[in-house]
Structure 1
Amino acid sequence: MRQPPVHTIAEDAIKAWKITAGIFVAILWFAAIAATVLTFIFDWPVWIIAIAIVISAISTYFFVFLLPVLRWRRWRYEVFEQEIYIQHGILIVSRTLVPMIRVQHVDTQQGPILKKYKLASVTISTAATTHEIPALLEEDASELRDRISALARVDEDDV
């Protein structure tokens, strides 16, 4: 069996993912507050408040505190001359090999949260799908994009 890839993504990815999850969980908390207000206005049962708060608290712990750390630990990648090896997943670990000959183009992406931490994601497009290596340092993402692009070009010339 093949050894796992050796390169990891930037540790600041955890912070960026926590902020992103926090934004979505905040929406859930607003829904819980709305359920509380509606419970008092329409004289609904009190257990609706309890369920809304419990679901919000569990979601906050899971999506903001636990999931980003587990996700960061599992993300690995490695670039070889003939292929790109990507491994990710928490419960189900996906190991993907992308042949260089199939790479059509490579991009870097950076949203406002990634930009705050000087991170960028590399997306690798093939005819079938797009693969992403998230949250690399900006310099590493640029170098990786250029390296994959050069290796993909060399493979096309060899054919």
Structure 2
Amino acid sequence: MRQPPQHRIAVDAIKAWRITEVIVMVILLLLVIASFIVGHFFDWALWIPFTALAVWGVLAYLMIFLIPVVRWRRWRYEVFDQEIYVQHGILIVSRTLVPMIRVQHVDTKQGPILKRFNLSNLTVSTAATIHEIPALPQEEAAALRDQISELARVDEDDV
């Protein structure tokens, strides 16, 4: 069996993912608060909004504190001359090999939260799928994009 890839994504990915989840959880909290208001006007049983609040609390803990750390630990990648090796997953760990000969184009993208931490996502497109390596340092993502592009071009010329 092949060894896991060696390269990790940036540690700041944890912070970026946490900020994203805080935004999502604030929106969900507003919905929970709305359930209290609606419940008051429609005479719902009090257990309904309190259950929603309890579920929100558990979900907030998992999504903000636990999952980003586990997600970071599992994300790994490695670029070889003939393939890109990516590992990710939380409960189910996926290991994917992307042959260089199948690579059609490579992009980097950066949203406002990633930009704050000088991170970029690298996407590798093939005819069938798009593979993403998230939260790489900006310079590393650009260098990796250029390296994969060059390796994919060399493979096409050899065929």
- The TM-score with structure 1 as length reference comes to 0.98
Work out the CA distance in 1 between the residues paired with 2:76 and 2:43: 52
Work out the CA distance in 1 between the residues paired with 2:27 and 2:56: 10
Runs of 4+ in structure 1 over 6 Å off = none
Q: CA RMSD in A?
A: 0.7
Residue of structure 2 equivalent to 1:77: 77
Residue of structure 2 equivalent to 1:130: 130
Work out the CA distance in 1 between the residues paired with 2:40 and 2:84: 56
The amino acid of 1:37's aligned partner reads I
Give the Å deviation of 1:101. Answer: 0.3
Residue of structure 2 equivalent to 1:115: 115
- Gap runs ≥5 in structure 2: none
Give the Å deviation of 1:43. Answer: 1.9
Give the Å deviation of 1:39. Answer: 1.9
**Percent of pairs with identical residues:** 65
- Gap runs ≥5 in structure 1: none
Give the Å deviation of 1:41. Answer: 2.1
Give the Å deviation of 1:23. Answer: 1.0
Work out the CA distance in 2 between the residues paired with 1:91 and 1:59: 16
C-alpha distance after superposition, 1:75-134 (max 9, x if no partner): 000000000000000111000000000000000000000000000010000001100000
Residue of structure 1 equivalent to 2:154: 154
The amino acid of 2:14's aligned partner reads I
Note the 1:6-85 alignment, pairs <5 A. Answer: 6-85=6-85
> Which deviates the most, 139-148 or 20-29?
20-29
Work out the CA distance in 2 between the residues paired with 1:64 and 1:117: 17
Give the Å deviation of 1:25. Answer: 1.0
The amino acid of 1:133's aligned partner reads I
